[in-house]
Structure 1
Amino acid sequence: MKVLTLILLLSLLQGCVSWLQRQPEPPTLASLPSRESAVEATPVEAMTPERVMEDYRALLQQPAPPELTHEATRRLADLQLGQGERRLAGEAQGLSAEVLFDSAIKLYRQLLEQNDDITGRDRLYYQQARAEVLVGRLEASQQTLDRLVREHPESLYFQEAQFRRGEWLFTRADYAAAQRAYAAAVAAGGDSPFHQRALFKLGWALFKQQQFDAALDAFVALLDLRADTLNRLDSKTLTPSDRELMQDTLRVTSLCFTQQGGAGGIDRYFQSNGERPWLHRVYRSLGNLYLKQERVLDGADAYLSFVRRSPSHPQAPSLQLLAIESFQSHGFPGQALAAKRELAQRYRQDGEAWKGLEHESRIALTPHLRKYLRDLASHYHALAQQPGKVKKGQRDTWFSESVVWYRHYLSRFPGEAQSGRINFLLAELQFERGEFGQAVVEYQRTAYDYPPHKDAAEAGYAALLAFDRQKSLLPEVQRQAWQRQGAESGLRFADRFPADKRTAGVLSRSAQQLFQLGHYGQARKVAQRSLEGKTGLDVKGQRVSWAVAAHAAFELADYAEAETGYNKLLQLSAGDKAGQGTIREKLAAAIYQQGRILSEKGEAAAAAQHYLRVGRVVPDASIRTTAEYDGAASLIAAGQWGTATGVLEGFRQRYPEHELTIDVERKLALAYLQNGQPLEAAAVFARVAVAPLATEVQQQAAWQAAELYQKAGSDKRAVTAFKIYIKRFPQPLEPAMEARQQLVELYQRLHEPAKRDYWLRQLVAVERKAGAAGSERSRYLAAQAALRLAEPEYTAFVKISLKRPLARSLKRKKRQMQRAIKAYDLAAGFAQADVTTLATFRLAEIYRLFGESLLTSERPAGLSAEELEQYELLLEEQAYPFEEKAIEAHEQNARRAAQGVYDDWVRQSFSQLAQLNPARYAKQEQGERVFNEMR
């Protein structure tokens, strides 16, 4: 009977394990990336190196298995090597460093000679080579490294060993052999410093053999790897070693290209091998090299080659400036002028090169452009003005060149004081050549578009003369438009130069004409000046000026000034009833706009006063309905609920059929609610409910009704209202889900758990069918609902104890375990962080508790001691997978901390891991020091 019981229990437990292995992972757990967790260090008792070495020597004197002897010998050798290094550094006392290194070398050799099959031979070679270097036996060290790379090409030390071999061979001028060693180190790949250093030295070894193309491949590969360092080459963030490596690499790269045709060689190489973001460094380095060799033309050509290749590169302007400076400082004026011209043409404001430049590059280049444009314009201007005979057409060519560069300068720097003088010279030249239309443009620009300068007034008056000269040359059909432009030019002159003796009569220009041209600000100023003038205006003239002033103020959004003007116009137009109608409408609009501006500033109460003033000042204004509606809205915004209800009720009575009435009802309800009049608000909602409204309005009213019931404490009526809302408005989904959530809370408050759970299940079911209609909020509500439904399943699982008869209670426990896991899987499936962490924690606890239940279950009665021991072992074997699953689930929860999720459930998972797996999560492992570099 006992044996039968054991067999039956084994069968049940194995069934649980098999089922466990078949269960799918929760969808939000298995997809998370693995990440190591930080573990706090556990302090250990400190021991001196001498004491440890003494212990190892004592251990080696005792009989021991070969494996232990080997490990003790290796550790003793490592300790002697480390102590020797500390002795060299002055950090240790005792035996000399040479004695320690010699002893370590002997031990490494002993280990290597004893057994060819021992693991870690490559490390022994590596350590021996280090010791030999430290003791000064360089030849022996290289021989040891030769054996390392020959016997262990897969070793972690292979790359460094090959690099060290290459260095040794390079110093002995065996460049071919050094090349092979460096190439092997490079081929090992990786991100170690040896990879990059090997690339650099590989290039040098090839350079020494005059294999320039291959050397360039190595140097370019290194520059590619250190592209970020190249970007920061001019900054102070680089270490001296990094800066020196990059500068040396660029220098030797330049040396290679001097053998490949200079800048042309760079062009050809990178056309075949692809562009690089750091390419400007190579051109600059080559140019600098040529200048040091006093090859000025070649150096400047190197700079300019990159500019021509990549004119919009951030460094292109500085390289072109270097070329110009090189020409100027070394006595090449013709080439300097040509380079300036090339720069000015290349970086024209409308050119692709300028458009492609970064903002910072434009700022840096601008002062140089300003100077060079002046230099070019002055140069050709001086040539055009020189006396004596010149070749036919040459003077016109120089004149045209001067005009071109003046225009280029003016288009580039239109607002500078010096530009005024340049613009005046340009206008004078065009006037003398009979180009009066162009002269008008340039004279006006000179007079009005620059800060005040000595030529401004003369240029403004000269523009009027040019208008007259050009008018006589135009056909009759064009003269009116040209004359209108001349009149405006005269007005500009009067405004700019009021004290000029030639300004007489300028104000005769009509303010009305300026208004028609759309110059509202200027028109208002001229109208005001005309009204303020000493000559005075008749009534008709005053009406015109006041009309211009009022209309211009309105267009400029100065509505208070416009209101003043319209009131003045009403006084001046007392006998003109027809004209007054239009003015009254404009007056109403000006008052309304004052309210609108205050509304936009957030001054709702003041805005309401203006809106409501429209009806008092202009009762028959067409804008009155809108003004009163906006006035009521402003009163609501200002919190003046009582006043707002009066205005809104008045609107309903005066305009019962108005299209705004529906919205007025809604605002009226709000006002009543805020004013503490819920019954009146309810009456308004009742009217809205029976009116033939749009669906959206009905939806809002239905929701507001339900909320009012809820706030009033009428839970049952609120339940009915929310059910009606869900039935009538299942879409959009999110508010309908909120309504279901409200029903859950209401039934919770009404102590009706069955109905509460029904709506919890509804939240889950509706969201699972929602598809694209779901939202983050609806998924959150569904996740919370699923979690609330899962908690009772977990509680029921915890309460089931494994008692005799074990087969029956185990079956119940397993069934409830499956129900709980399924419930938490469902909750986690909605991908809500706070729900997922709790669900994951519960899943882990389910596995852990199930395993613990097995271990603490009631034992079958009547077992012998041997049978009981076997039974205990069987229980531990079957409980182990559940503990592993618990650890796995807790680890998945803990990894969420790396994603910024660290709530109470993640913290609890960390706590459980510390108990379930203390070896990993409750202490810091101690590791051996790994030497990554030989010194």
Structure 2
Amino acid sequence: MNLPFAPQSFAALLVMVMTLAHGSVSAQESFRVELGRDGETLGDMRPVFLKFESRPLPAISPLEVARRYQKLFESSDEPEVRIDALNRLNNIRNRSGEDVGFSEEREAAIYEEVLESYESILAKGSFSGRLDELLYQMAKAHALTGQPEQSIARLKQLVGLYPNSELVPEARFRIAEAAFSAGRYAEAEAGYRQLLEHDSHQELAAKARYMLGWSQFKQGNPAWARASASFTAVLDQQLPDHSALANPPAHSMDMLEDTFRVLALMASRQSDARTLADWLDGRESSAWQHLLYDRLADLHAVERRYERAVLVNNAFVSEFPGHTASPDFLAQSVSYWQLAGNTSKALAARDDYIQRLGAEARFQTMTPEQKGLWAQYSRFLADHYYATGTDLSSRNQTAAASEAWAKAAHYYERLAPRSEQAGELLHLAGDARLLAGDRTEAVRNFRAAAYDHRHGDSRDSAWAAIRIVREDLELASGENRTATLLVLSNEEQRYAEAFGPDQRLSGLRADLANRWYDLGEFERALHYASSTLTWERAGVTERYAAWLVTARIRQKNNEFGLAERAWRQALPLADEASQDAESQRRSLLEQLASAIYQQGEKAARAGDATLAVAHFQRVEGVMPGSEIAIKARYDAANTLLRASDWLAAINELQRFRIDYPSHELTPETSEKLVLAYQESGQGLKAAEELLNRSETLADPWPTRLRAAAIFHAEGDSASRNQLYKNWLAVAPTPDSADEHVQHQTMRQRLIESGDSVIAVREQLLARERASQWHSDGTLKWAADAALFFGAQTAERFAGIALVHPLEQALARKQAAMQQAQEYLQEAESFAGDGVRSEVLYRRAELYRTLASDLMSSEVPAELNEMEAMQYQMLLEEEAFPLEEEAMALHARNHERIPTEGFDEWIQRSLEALATMHPGRYDRQLRWMSWTTDTNQGGS
């Protein structure tokens, strides 16, 4: 737009405003056909848009040729010459596919100008060029000048006069298309069929076959059988084999999608899967037939007719049991019942999947993904029935619980051979069998898990089998008891050979020794000692030696109570039996103290804290002040800790610290006191203990940070925050991901507690920018900080009024907008999809605000009325792209609904769109989606 009267400042302003616009103008395609969009009823439905493509020209430069013909057209006064030049220009454009010749706006005016010349030449009946091309160009001219009826009339004349012209296929297609658009569907059907019967134009034939189906479909139910045949022919042509199905032609994707959609709709309005079967009956197997069933099922699911959707899935599986997609249909039924909220039917659908596909021959035909789903469903059902059994048992429904556990075991056992976790699954099966009361099968599963399918907890599996046999031993009697004891001994030997030393195994061996002794097997370790002690005439030395042997063997076998009794029996005999009585007596006391101490350890391992502490405290009475007595005192405190007797443990630890201030174990009491304080609910004392200890350390900060963590847990934000701020003030740059996350966590907590919020937010954002390490949490916090500053900047941006001098105000506003954009984009770079909806909304609002502020800005007072009006019009022109950009960003938020779901910021975008474009967005919408990918959803 030329404004010779505009002042220089006004022109400069226009340049600045234009730099804010981001809209673009694209040339529209001339003489094209658009068939509309979906309606809300079947009658309103429209096929997808069909695009006509240009044909290639030889490798020459069409631009120069077009330039010459354009010049000829403009300089000649002869109608025939001008028409011929115009025809040749259009031929060059159509064949080259390049934008040559007149612009679209100029072309429309040209055709309106020469339309009279067309009629004149045609009336003369003489034309040096081809009359079929003349008729075609006249049709195009009528179309461009808004005369569709005359355009179709010329196309019909072209077909009638020149049936062999290469332009006839397209003319016939456009004639049929016009009939379709006018709602004359029977006429359109005849036209499309005529094109298919007479012309071999491959591209138009594909489109005509597709539109033939639509013409039949629009005639209603009586014509749907013909429509289905036409549409399936489209699928046969476009997807002739599995290779084409795997890589369908990109240009046909919309047509294929539309074809599946309308076939599914017709079937859903008739007899569902039965209709599909009738359509496919008598045909050879097609690569695409399973997609037709899938689309029909999906249609029902989208419209919440889940039971009908499942029936369609089942119909396909029944009709094609061996099809590679049958497992996917069965899995899809699981998903549909889940969407319907029908848990019991979803369980049954999973079981159906497992049962139908569980046979080895059928299982081996499945894809790895389908096999994985079979395993997933099996594990889900196993875990479900295990949990169900546990729940029923808690409600004293014993019989039902046993039945559920038995089902769980069945699924675990069936899954195990097909799983890399066979050992873990068999262990679970054993546990379920045991809970169900089937002890024999439980032992068999535990053994298999322990020895045949080794896994990380094979020791526990083996021990579970031992535990069951030991429990059986308690119930056995007579010969059965001996046989069970032999089984237990074999289990012990097999366990030892497979896994080596084990603390549980040590206890088992002691138990076996006692049991064999109870049965009269004295050869195991105690034969000679027992025979000596039972001999009434044995002397002091012999009995002393026997008691020593007995004590040593008992102690070696971890039978410390018997060992203590033996040491005590030997102690009074030492004076008579030993030449060095004093030395022997001291040695015996050390061994006795050790036996008592070990009894305390054994009781502690068994979980009997009271007995363990009593034994540990008895040691000091045997050897007061000795190293073992001091260690026993220390272990008594540890046992109280393990038993969670926190107050008693605190007292014992404090006494130990007072009694033995210089002992090497004393420093370790601090950490144990921290634990006891924490566990007894005295977290603040624990923190104080840590802070006191930190004063003695060369590097106090690790300990102080532990104290800070306790202050955090205890809710003492002030103490925690002070430690955080002190640490962050001196902390070096993190050299690991853990340290970075730790520092950022501290800053986030300071922010959440309202302590130095702005400064800490800036530090957090700066550290995350500079760091090479990130976590989901730190990225989220940094994104929140960026959004916070972005929102602040956006508020400042919105508050900048566009007043005179406008150049300065606009510069400030643009700078604020740029800074807000940078913050928002930074937030998105940190959090991605997590904040994309909010970022899109806020960015869109920046553009919308700028457009609004431009429109409402002051008009320069020095402009006259005409200048002011043109100034306002220019502002509107510059604001329009900004509004378009705002709408585009809001629309992108809108488009995220099918993939990302709905949230507050999408809602705000929809509200903004409803305000900006009420005709399109201020209405109720219903979202539907479909994908050709097979459903691999889990449970």
TM-score, reference length from structure 1: 0.47
Larger RCO (alpha carbons 8 Å, 6+ apart) = 1
